[in-house]
Amino acid sequence: MRSSLLSLWLLGGAFAARPFLNEPDTGFDEYFGSLKAADLAPLDSLVGLPDFEEAARRMLPIANYTYYRNGAAGEWSYRNNLEVFNRYAIRPRMMIDVTNLAASFPRSTTILGHNFSAPFFIAPCARGDYGNIDAEKGLVEAAAAEDVLYIPSLSAFLSIEQITAYKTDGQVTFQQAYLNSNETATKELFARVKASGAKAIVFSVDSAANGNRQRAARYGASSTDVSYTLITWEFYERLKTLTDIPIVLKARSTRDLSIESRAAAKLTGRSPLEVAIEINQKDPNIFKEIEVYADGGVRYGADVVKMLALGVRAVGIGRPFMFANVWGTEGVTRAIKLLKTEIGLDAANMGVANLKNIDQSIFVWTPNSVPA
Ligand SMILES: Cc1cc2nc3c(=O)[nH]c(=O)nc-3n(C[C@H](O)[C@H](O)[C@H](O)COP(=O)(O)O)c2cc1C
C-alpha cells in the first residue's frame, strides 16, 4: 500500500506543469547581480543566445525591449516555439567518428545557390534603432564577417540603400518585403531591391492584417491600423511577372505554403518544429523539391540540428540577434560565433558526423511527440 501511494505521488510530480521561463536559469543572475542597470554586460561573459536578451532587458528602455520581446495576443505561440524543442528528444549515438564535423562547416550551407558558413541566417526584424543608435549596421557587418545570410526587413530603420552601403564586396543578402496591390509602388520597390544587389525577395504573406500585439500595445509600440491587404496565390503569380529576382514566401506556417503550392492541404498553426515534423511525416518530398527555411524560437545549437534533421535547409533567428545588436557588430558577431560552436558541439554529442547527412531517425518518438 505504502509503495503504491509513493508511486502515485511520484507520478503526480512528473506530470506537474513547469512554469514558463522566458529566460532560462543558467546562473546569469548570480553572475551579473552586481552589474548596474544601465551597464552593458561585458560581451565575453555572455555565453549563449538567451544571455543577450537577459542582459539587454536590464539596460534598454522598457518600450524598446518590449518591441523586440513581444509576441502575438496571449503569446501562446511565442512560448510554444521556445518550449517545443524540449518536447522532442533525440537519441544520441555513441562510437561515431565526429572528428571531421568541424571541417564540413565552412561554406557548407547553400541557400538558393549561394554558399554560407552556417545553416542559420539573420531573420528580417524591423527597427534596429530600438537596440542600437547605428540601427541595422551591426547586423549587416556581422553577417559579412561571419559569412552568414542577413535578410533586412523592409521596416528596418535604415533604408535599403543605407544598408547596401554597409555591405562588403560580394556579400549576399536577401530583401524582405511587404507588398500590396499598388503595382506602381511594387515595381519601384523591386527596382530598388535589384539595384541593391539583393539576391532574393522574401515576401511576408502572413500580414494580411496587422498583428494583435498586446504586450507592445501597453507601451504604444504597436500599430492600431486595421487595414487589410489582399494576398492570394493569384497575386503571387502576378508578382513573379514583375521581377526576375526569386521570390521566397515567408509565413507563420510554411507547411501551408509548401504543400498548397502543389496540392490542397489542411492548414496548421503550430510551431515551426511541429510543422517540419508534419511535412516530414506526410510529404517529405517537399524538402527535396523546394528549399524550406524555418524560424521561431531557435535558441540553441541542438534546436538547429533538429530542424536540419527534419529536412529544413536553414534556420532563421530573429530576437536573439536584435538583442545582440545592442552591442553592435561585435555583439552580433559573438552571437553568431557562439551558435556556430554550439551546433558543432551539439551535433557531435548527438553522434552526427556530417551535418548534411542527418535524418529524422535521431529523434526518439514518444507517445507525446509522435506525429499524428
Ligand atoms: C522585433 C521584431 C520585428 C520583426 N519584424 C519583421 C519584419 O519586419 N518582417 C518580417 O517578415 N518578419 C519580422 N519579424 C519576424 C522575424 O522575421 C522572425 O520570423 C522571428 O523573429 C523568428 O522568431 P525568433 O525571434 O524567435 O527567432 C519580426 C520579429 C521581431 C521579434
- On whether 297 is known to bind a ligand per the annotation, the reply is yes
Instruction: Label residue 12 by pLDDT band (50, 70, 90).
Output: very low
Q: What is the tens place of the pLDDT at every residue in 281-298? A: 888 898 888 898 999 999
Looking at per-residue pLDDT, the higher value among 20 and 262 belongs to 20
- On whether 67 is known to bind a ligand per the annotation, the reply is yes
Q: State the Cα–Cα distance between residues 142 and 128, nearest whole angstrom.
A: 14
Looking at per-residue pLDDT, the higher value among 267 and 245 belongs to 245
Q: Tell me: pLDDT of 311 over 80.
A: yes
- Cell representation of residue 130: 530600438
Q: What is the tens place of the pLDDT at every residue in 235-244? A: 999 999 999 9
Q: Which CATH architecture has domain 47-362?
A: Alpha-Beta Barrel (3.20)
Across the range 5-19, mean pLDDT stands at: 55
Q: Tell me: pLDDT of 195 over 70.
A: yes
Q: State the Cα–Cα distance between residues 302 and 319, nearest whole angstrom.
A: 18
Q: What is the tens place of the pLDDT at every residue in 78-130? A: 999 999 999 999 999 999 999 988 777 766 799 999 999 999 999 999 999 99
Name the nearest CA neighbour of 120 among 272, 278, 330, 279.
Answer: 272
* Nearest-atom index, ligand 1, CA of 298: 27
- On whether 299 is known to bind a ligand per the annotation, the reply is yes
Mutation probe of ligand 1 site: the residue of 53, 125, 303 with most atoms within 8 A of C-beta: 125
- Please calculate the CA angle 57-61-63 and round it to the nearest 5 degrees: 95
- Are 148 and 321 spatial neighbours (Cβ–Cβ below 8 Å)? no
Ligand 1 lining (C-beta closer than 6 Å): 67-68, 81, 123-126, 153, 155, 176, 204, 250, 295-298, 316-319, 322
- Are 150 and 122 spatial neighbours (Cβ–Cβ below 8 Å)? yes
Strand partners, 150: 122, 173
Please tell me the distance between residue 79's alpha carbon and the centre of ligand 1 in angstroms.
Answer: 15
Q: Output the pLDDT for position 206.
A: 81
Q: Tell me: pLDDT of 268 over 60.
A: no
Strand partners, 173: 150
Name the nearest CA neighbour of 245 among 314, 296, 193.
Answer: 193
Pairs from 253-257 (Cβ < 8 Å, separation ≥ 24): 254/279, 254/292, 254/293, 254/294, 255/279, 257/205
* Nearest-atom index, ligand 1, CA of 153: 8
Q: Tell me: pLDDT of 252 over 80.
A: no
Strand partners, 247: 201
- On whether 125 is known to bind a ligand per the annotation, the reply is yes
